[in-house]
Structure 1
Amino acid sequence: MAKDGLESVAGVRARLARPVRRVMSWVLAGANGGPADEPADATTGNWVVDCAVYVDGRRRPGRPDPLRALATARGCRGFVWLGLHEPSAADFAPVARAFGLDELVAGHALNADHRPAVERYDQVTVMVLRTSRYVDHPELTETSEVVETGAVTVFVGPRFVITVRHGAPGALSPVRADLEARPALLAAGPWAVAHAVCDRLVGSYAKVAAAVEADVDAVEEQVFSRHTHGQIAHIYQLKRELMEFKRAVAPLQRPLGELIEDRDVLPRPMSRYFRDLSGNLARIVERVTALDELLNSTLQARLTQVSIDQNNDMRKIAAWAAILAVQTFVAGVYGMNFSYIPGLDSRYGFPVAMLVMLLLGAVMYRGFRRNKWL
């Protein structure tokens, strides 16, 4: 009985200790700059890819809680890089409050269909970027997926950078590894991360453009080959995939140029990096535009070929109809019920009529062949 009593007292103490620890964690979170109304483990889901604090280009040991990382970065005069993958509205809400993002700014992280853009909200710059990936396919068909796209939203603040990725393309783990291997560049702060993300995406654009160009060349070779039997549907499918890729690449050119010209937003040491990036993007946009025009010309050429083939078929049908019409005319004349038709009572009337029909058909066939109707 005494033993049971001691166990019950221990259980009561344990139950009372849980809410006390929870309240203390909330109070400590508020003291460290995090939201006092959220528990410390609110962002331990698998949608948090990585979170790190960087000081002078070096990553501090450990993985801080995303809700407290900003306070830690401010205390050591560094910045925090938080990487997220497809968070829900409920998941991102405490992060937005912890980093001071209002509802309008946070909305960019939850929508994967935004047009590429660069927008400024007070001290936070939001970069909406489109990711892309070439999908290998053994043969181009009318249902082939050639380009897969996604989205990355980058929030750049004075002491933080948040990357939110939607879709399979555009994994940013290699970007983080490359930057951590270059501490001198990473010491430039959050804009170094923003440039690295943009640079990786523009590099993927170049690879996708090269792969799509190979598909366009294959389609062009097929269309202009001597024996063309391909369908038009697969050319339309490649056109649709190229248009999706173009919508991901081309709209970024203008806002990126405006960002470079805005000296109040972009730090001067990073300007030359973004200018080089803008030049690379411009070349890719020109390449994609040229591919689009080439594919349009190829499609028009194939449609013209189909039209010519149809005209050739109609000429063949008309030629054979003319040849058969002559035979029908002769047979119709001698099939009339008149008594006085020349040669009707002749012994050689039928053979002569058949010979005339064959000669007329042969002459017409030769004439149509000479004029390339048959």
Structure 2
Amino acid sequence: MVHDDGTGRSLSRALAAPVRRAMDRMRSAAPTVEITDVTTGHHSGVVDCALYVDGVRQPGDWNYRDALTAARGTRDAFVWLGLKEPDAHELADIADAFDLHELPVEDAVKSHQRPKVERYGDMTFVTMRTARYIEHAELTETSEVVESGDVMMFIGEHFIITVRHGDAARLAPVRAGLNDKHDLLKQGPWAVAYAVYDLVVDILIEVASAIEEDIAIVEDSVFARQGGSGRIQRIYQLKRELMEFKRAVLPLQRPLAGLASGQLANVPAEIRRYFRDVNDHLTRTVEQVMYFDDLLNSILQARLAQVTVDQNNDMRKIAAWAGIAAFWTFVTGIYGMNLDMPEKDWKYFYPVLLALMVAISLGLYRAFRRSGWL
């Protein structure tokens, strides 16, 4: 990550006075990036553009073309350009300035890219899915638990361009945290790439912990007496959101493992150590996600089995009450026939018959209660 232009050690310092004055004149004379694109009327996707020299962020508001010129002419310098959902026109202008390959530029305009690491000459293109947990009072059929997004990075010798889609992983904390880590930033653009990976994986860990709490709540409610069919809807909703979360976590393993194992020669050895730590965290999260998937399957099967048992219990209750009612129907059906029965002439016949029917019904009820049918 070191570019030596033959001017000596003076340029390795944080821009010597003559060079600094020349760059200040360049920045004041050159046009700056406008907030609104005059050709399209759209707001610019540029969130931040910074020049780092020897691990220190240089003061001032930099245009990315000027910053790249300064970085290429200075030892131990690179540009970090942060973008949020840029349009194709703006990204094409940035690609022209940084000499980016057209294929990854086309991918960077669109969201929902599969995590990958690809080499295009001296540049590396990195994509990853991001996820954010959404707080909710109670799961419903339409509520979302996980919001997904994308972060993409163009990494060259003197620059790193981060492109963010969605708000699942905001990079402002990364910038603020790296400003005090000069030794890490001296490693060049891959230090920023590591910090972005670390943030994304940390957020994935937080999402996994939050989903674990939701699963625990659903698990506790599975055998509750209240809730009805709504419990199945909540289980299904969690399972669907877990699948969305898996699309962010599982495909990230292979590219991150490649960065940690040194498959890319341009990644500094010191940064590979940091990537290995991030990869360890991701591996534990992957294990959690797989466990959650199995657990939700078990909970869903247990709930479906419980529904079947509840239906059988309902059928037994209906059969028990039908049996009691059948006894009354049988007795009243016999004595309701227009037949000459001698016992009907007894004056206490009907009171005794009713008392006998009630007693037999109570006996049947107690028998069904003891057997668990009622």
Q: Give the TM bin, normalised by the shorter chain.
A: 0.7 to 0.9
- Quote how far apart the aligned CAs of 1:72 are: 2.0
Q: Give the Cα–Cα distance (whole angstroms) in 2 for the partners of residues 44 and 70 of structure 1.
A: 20
The corresponding residue for 2:168 is: 169
- Quote how far apart the aligned CAs of 1:321 are: 0.6
Q: Give the Cα–Cα distance (whole angstroms) in 1 for the partners of residues 223 and 206 of structure 2.
A: 26
Deviations for 1:190-222, whole angstroms, at most 9, x for unmatched residues? 111100100011111112222222222222222
* TM-score using structure 2 length: 0.83
Sequence identity of aligned pairs in percent?
53
Q: Give the Cα–Cα distance (whole angstroms) in 2 for the partners of residues 118 and 345 of structure 1.
A: 100
- Quote how far apart the aligned CAs of 1:121 are: 2.0
The corresponding residue for 2:209 is: 210
Q: Check the 8 A contact 1:67/1:94 in 2, yes or no.
A: no
Mapping of residues 144-293 of structure 1, within 5 Å = 144-225=143-224, 227-229=225-227, 231-232=230-231, 233-261=233-261, 262-293=263-294
- Quote how far apart the aligned CAs of 1:308 are: 1.9
Q: Give the Cα–Cα distance (whole angstroms) in 2 for the partners of residues 259 and 186 of structure 1.
A: 18
- Quote how far apart the aligned CAs of 1:282 are: 0.3
Q: Check the 8 A contact 1:259/1:265 in 2, yes or no.
A: no
The corresponding residue for 1:8 is: none
The corresponding residue for 1:359 is: 359
Q: Check the 8 A contact 2:320/2:373 in 1, yes or no.
A: yes
Other structure's SS at 2:343 match: coil
Deviates more, 1:89-98 or 1:261-270: 261-270
Mapping of residues 9-48 of structure 1, within 5 Å = 40-41=31-32, 44-45=35-36, 46-48=44-46
> Is 1:116 equivalent to 2:96 in the alignment?
no
- Quote how far apart the aligned CAs of 1:64 are: 2.0
Q: Check the 8 A contact 1:142/1:235 in 2, yes or no.
A: no
Deviations for 1:78-105, whole angstroms, at most 9, x for unmatched residues? 2111000111111211001111112211
Q: Give the Cα–Cα distance (whole angstroms) in 2 for the partners of residues 342 and 260 of structure 1.
A: 100
Deviations for 1:26-71, whole angstroms, at most 9, x for unmatched residues? xxxxxx9xxxxxx944564442111112121112222221233322
The corresponding residue for 2:308 is: 307
Deviations for 1:81-134, whole angstroms, at most 9, x for unmatched residues? 100011111121100111111221102211111122222222221111122222
Unaligned runs of 5+ in 2: 1-25, 37-43
Q: Check the 8 A contact 2:45/2:83 in 1, yes or no.
A: yes
> Is 1:53 equivalent to 2:51 in the alignment?
yes
Other structure's SS at 1:343 match: helix
Q: Check the 8 A contact 1:40/1:67 in 2, yes or no.
A: no
The corresponding residue for 1:76 is: 74
The corresponding residue for 1:142 is: 141
Q: Give the Cα–Cα distance (whole angstroms) in 2 for the partners of residues 176 and 62 of structure 1.
A: 15
Deviates more, 1:75-84 or 1:258-267: 258-267
The corresponding residue for 1:328 is: 329
- Quote how far apart the aligned CAs of 1:184 are: 0.8
Distance 1:111 1:229, change over 3 A: same
Mapping of residues 88-107 of structure 1, within 5 Å = 88-107=87-106
Q: Check the 8 A contact 2:258/2:264 in 1, yes or no.
A: no
Q: How many residues were matched structurally?
A: 335
* TM-score using structure 1 length: 0.83
- Which amino acid counterpart does residue 55 of structure 1 have in structure 2? V
Q: Check the 8 A contact 2:259/2:272 in 1, yes or no.
A: no
- What's the RMSD between the two structures over aligned residues? 2.1
Q: Give the Cα–Cα distance (whole angstroms) in 1 for the partners of residues 267 and 308 of structure 2.
A: 55
Q: Give the Cα–Cα distance (whole angstroms) in 2 for the partners of residues 219 and 189 of structure 1.
A: 46
Q: Give the Cα–Cα distance (whole angstroms) in 2 for the partners of residues 216 and 62 of structure 1.
A: 49
Q: Give the Cα–Cα distance (whole angstroms) in 1 for the partners of residues 154 and 184 of structure 2.
A: 19
Distance 1:156 1:266, change over 3 A: same
Q: Give the Cα–Cα distance (whole angstroms) in 1 for the partners of residues 70 and 338 of structure 2.
A: 113
Unaligned runs of 5+ in 1: 1-31, 33-38
